[in-house]
Amino acid sequence: MKIAVSSEGPGLESQVDPRFGRAAGFVIVDMESMNTEYVDNGASQVMAQGAGIETAERLSALGVGAVLSGYVGPKAFTALQAAGMQIYQDLDGRSVGDAVRCYAGGTLNPATASNK
Amino acid sequence: MRIAFASGKGGAGKTTVAASLAAIWPHPCLIVDADVEAPNLHLFLHPHLEAAQSVYLTVPELDSEKCTACGDCAAMCSYKAIAKLGAGLIVFADMCHGCGGCFEVCQANALKKGKRELGSLQWGSWSLKMGADQNSDQNLNQALGQTSSQTSGKNSGKTLLMGKSRVGEAMSPPLLRAIDGALAAISVGDAASVPDILIDSPPGVSCPAMTTARMADALVLVAESTPFGTYDFKLAHAAFKKLNMPLAVVMNRAGMPGNESGDAALEKYCAAEGLPLLARLPFDLQAAEAYARGYLPLLEQSANALIWQRRFGLLYDAVQRWAGGKIGQIAEPCSAVNICASGTTGAGHA
Ligand code: SF4
Ligand code: SF4
C-alpha cells in the first residue's frame, strides 16, 4: 500500500508539514518496496477555497491508502474518508522518515474525526 | 437616486452617517442595510419589521442511482464543491457558488436542483418618532428649515430593507444580489414614485463591499482622519476608484484632540485626488455616547441633537448638489470593470 505524508520538502529527512490541504507537497511511500516519490501540492496551496478537497482528490487519484499529516480540515477529512483512506493526524513536529517509522511500527491510531 | 455609504474598515461611522441622513431625508427614502454579516441599522431606527423572507441559492443534489461517476461535474466546478474520489462522487453543497455549470455538463441527469439558505431579506417601515420617542418632528423640521430648501412635513415614507446572512453562511454576494433584485423591483414605474435609496455597505473593500457599491449610482466614503483611519481610507479609495462611479468623502470625527495634522492631511489628499469633501463632522464625545446607547446623535433629546440635525441638513444639501450633478453624467457606471472574480463568476445561476 502507498501512504502519503504531508511534507515541507521532498525527502524522508524533511519535516512533516502540519497543514494537509495547503501542504507544500507529499512524500509518497510504497510500504512494500519502501520507494519514495514526491508530489508537489503548490497548485492547491494557492486556492481560495477547496484546497483540502483538491488535495484529497490528487492523493486518491494516485492510489494512496493512508494519509499522515498534522491537521486535516473537516471537508478534507470527509473527502479522504469518502475515498476510503485512513487518516493519521498530529504527526507534525518530526521528520517524514520518523512519521513513516511510527506508522510502520503499528503504534498509530487512525483518526475518526477532523482535528481542526 | 441611489447612494451607498462605505468605508475602508468598520467603525469609521458610515452607519451613523447613512442612518442620520435617512432620518432627515425630506423625500420618501429607503435605507438598505447591506452589511449582511452584522446588520445593525434596525437597532437605531426601530422599524416595524415584516416577516423575513428567506433567500436561497440553487445547489446540486446528487442522485447516486443515476450518476455514472464520469467526473465531468467535478472537473468543471471551479470551487471544488464537487469532488470525485475513487469510484464515488461527493458534493459539498456549502461550498457551491451557484454558477449552474455542473447541471449543464451532467449527461446522465444525475444532479437535481437543491437549495441552500443564504439568509433573509426583511422590510420595515419606520419614522423618526420610533428612533427617539421624545424627539419632536417640529424641532427637526425647524432645523431643516434653516438649512434645506426642501422642508417640513415630508419626513414620511421611510422604509428599511435589511439583508441578513444565515449564521455560518460564508458567502454574501448572492444575498446582496437578492437585495439588488428587490431594489430593481421597486425602481420600476415613473421616477417620481421611486424613493431615494441610501445603502449602508459592508465595511472594507472585499467582494461584498464592491458588490454593494455597484448597486448604487454614487458612493460616499466615510473616513476618519486618524493615521490608521486615513491609511484605510486611501486603500478604500484606491479600490473603489476602479468602479468608475462618482465618489465623495465625509470626514468623521474631525478635530479630534491631538490629531490636528490628520484632518489637514486628509483634506489635502482629497483635494489632490479631486474628491469632493461633503462634510467635516466634528468629534463629539456626547454623540459617541449616544451611539453607544443605541441612539443616533441627531435623535437624542438634547441641545446637541439640534446641532447634529443642522449638520446633517447641510450634508443633505451637499449630497444633493454633488450627486444631483454627477448622476446621469456617467452612462455605464461600472459594468465593464471586473473587480472581483469570485463575486462575479457565480452570478449566472443565483
Ligand atoms: S453550481 Fe457551480 S459552483 Fe455549484 S457545484 Fe455546480 S459547478 Fe460547482
Ligand atoms: S456529471 Fe453527472 S454523471 Fe458525471 S459524475 Fe457528475 S453527476 Fe455523475
Distance in Å, alpha carbon of B95 to nearest chain A alpha carbon: 8
Dist. CA B221–CA B249, nearest whole Å: 5
Dist. CA B281–CA B338, nearest whole Å: 34
* Number of CB pairs, chain A paired with chain B, less than 8 A apart: 42
Dist. CA B132–CA B33, nearest whole Å: 20
Percent of chain B with pLDDT over 90: 63
Distance in Å, alpha carbon of B43 to nearest chain A alpha carbon: 34
Candidate from B12-16, B239-243, B336-340 with smallest mean pLDDT: B336-340
pLDDT tens per residue, range B305-325: 888 999 999 999 999 999 876
* Strand (E) or helix (H) holding A99: helix A96-105
pLDDT of residue B327: 60
pLDDT of residue B143: 46
For residue B72, the ligand 2 atom closest to its alpha carbon is 1
pLDDT tens per residue, range B103-132: 999 999 999 999 999 999 999 998 876 444
pLDDT exceeds cutoff 90 at A105: yes
Dist. CA B30–CA A109, nearest whole Å: 59
Pocket test for ligand 2, best of B89, B90, B112 (most atoms within 8 A of CB): B89
CA-nearest residue to A57 within chain B is B85
Dist. CA B191–CA B335, nearest whole Å: 22
Q: How confident is the model at residue B329 (pLDDT cuts 50, 70, 90)?
A: very low
Question: Which residues, 6 or more positions from A41, have their beta carbon under 8 angstroms from its beta carbon?
Answer: A6, A22, A23, A24, A25, A26, A55, A58
Numbered residues of chain B with Cβ closer than 8 Å to any chain A Cβ: 74, 79-81, 83-86, 88, 90, 92, 95, 342
C-alpha grid cell for residue B90? Answer: 461527493
For residue B292, the one-letter residue type is: A
Q: Strand pairing of B111-125 and B2-6? A: unpaired
The finding on whether B297 has its CB within 6 A of some atom of ligand 1 is: no
Q: What is the DSSP string of B118-170?
A: EEEEEEEE--HHHH-TT--HHHHHHHHHHH-SS-SS----EEEEEEEEPTT--
C-alpha grid cell for residue B78? Answer: 471551479
pLDDT of residue B156: 57
- Bridge partners, residue A39, by sequence: A26
pLDDT exceeds cutoff 70 at B142: no
Nearest CA to ligand 2 atom 3: B67
CA atoms within 13 A on the CB side of A84: 14
Q: How confident is the model at residue B175 (pLDDT cuts 50, 70, 90)?
A: very high
pLDDT greater at residue B346 or residue A100: A100
Q: A75: which chain B residues are within 8 Å (Cβ-Cβ)?
A: 92, 95
pLDDT exceeds cutoff 60 at B214: yes
C-alpha grid cell for residue B121? Answer: 431579506
Dihedral sign from CA coordinates of B241, B243, B247, B249: negative
Dist. CA B147–CA B155, nearest whole Å: 15
Q: Which of A60, A75, A83 sits opposite B92 (nearest CB)?
A: A75
Candidate from A18-32, A45-59, A96-110, B147-161 with smallest mean pLDDT: B147-161
- Greatest Cα pair distance in chain B: 75
Flag if B95 and A47 touch (Cβ within 8 Å): no
CA of B261 to the centre of ligand 1 (A): 51
pLDDT greater at residue B345 or residue A24: A24
Nearest C-alpha neighbor of A68 from the set A16, A1, A115: A16
pLDDT of residue B151: 35
Dist. CA B263–CA B30, nearest whole Å: 32
Q: How many residues does chain B have?
A: 350
pLDDT of residue B86: 81
User: pTM (2 decimals)?
Assistant: 0.78
Q: Which residue has the cell 454576494?
A: B173
Q: Domains of chain B (ranges plus CATH)?
A: 2-53+119-129+154-324 (3.40.50.300), 57-117 (3.30.70.20)
**The CATH number, out of the four listed (3.40.140.10, 3.40.50.1390, 3.30.420.130, 2.40.50.140), of the domain defined by the range A2-105:** 3.30.420.130
Q: How confident is the model at residue B149 (pLDDT cuts 50, 70, 90)?
A: very low
Q: Which of B83, B90, B342 sits opposite A48 (nearest CB)?
A: B342
As a whole number, the mean pLDDT across chain B is 84
* Interface with chain A: mutation pick from B90, B96, B342, highest number of A CBs within 10 Å: B90
| Contact (Cβ atoms closer than 8 angstroms) between residue B315 and residue B251 | no
CA of B173 to the centre of ligand 2 (A): 27
- 3-class secondary-structure state, position A82: helix
Domain ranges of chain A: 2-105
